[in-house]
Amino acid sequence: MRKGEEVYKRRELKKAYADWLQQQHFTIFATIKFIDGSEVNETEATKRLRFFFNKLDRKVKTHKEVKKGKRLKRHVYIEKGRSRQNIHAHFFTKGSTLKETKSIIYNAQHIWQTVDNASDIEVSLIDYEKGIVGYCTKELDTIDTDILLTDCTH
C-alpha cells in the first residue's frame, strides 16, 4: 500500500471510529493513569484494568446482574502517550439512569485508588461539542494499530 493510500485509509478509519462512538451516546469519559506507566507492560496494565472494571461493575450493578452478564456499556482504549512509553487508558461509558451515572462517576474515582500502582483518574461528563469522541484515535498510527482494549470493553 502506498503512503498516500495508508494516510487516507487511516483518516477514514479514525472518522468511522468517531462516528460509531458518537452513535453509542456515551455520557462519561475518563482518563486512567498508572504510577508506573512508563514501566508497566500492556499485559499487566490490562490485568489491573480488568480488576478495576470488574469492581466497578459490581459496585454500580448488582452482583446478580454481573453474574448474568449485565455490565456497564463501555469502550476502553489503551494508549502509550506521546513518547509511546507511558501506558494509560481512556474509557467511555454511560449509566442507564441519572442515579447510575452519578454512581459510576463517584465509584470509579474511589475504586481506582484500590488498584495496584494506580495514579490519577479523571472522570467527566462528555461535551460532544469538544469532539472528544475522536480523542482516542490519536494513537492510531497505522490501520493495524490495536487501540481498543477488548478485554475490558462491553
Residue-wise pLDDT for 129-149, tens only, equals 556 767 777 666 655 666 778
What is the pTM assigned to this prediction?
A: 0.86
The CA distance from 91 to 79, in Å, is 11
The CA distance from 126 to 135, in Å, is 12
Burial 47-77 (b: 16+ CB within 10 A, else e): ebbeebbebbbbbbbeeeebeeeebbebbbb
Q: What is the mean pLDDT of the chain?
A: 86
What is the tens place of the pLDDT at every residue in 50-69? 999 999 999 999 888 988 98
pLDDT band at 81 (very low <50, low <70, confident <90, very high): confident
Instruction: Give the residue among 21, 24, 27 at the shortest CA–CA distance from 105.
Output: 27
Alpha helices in 24-123 (DSSP H): 42-60, 63-67, 98-112
Report whether 76 contacts 84 (CB < 8 A). no
What is the tens place of the pLDDT at every residue in 90-124? 999 999 999 999 999 999 999 999 998 899 999 99
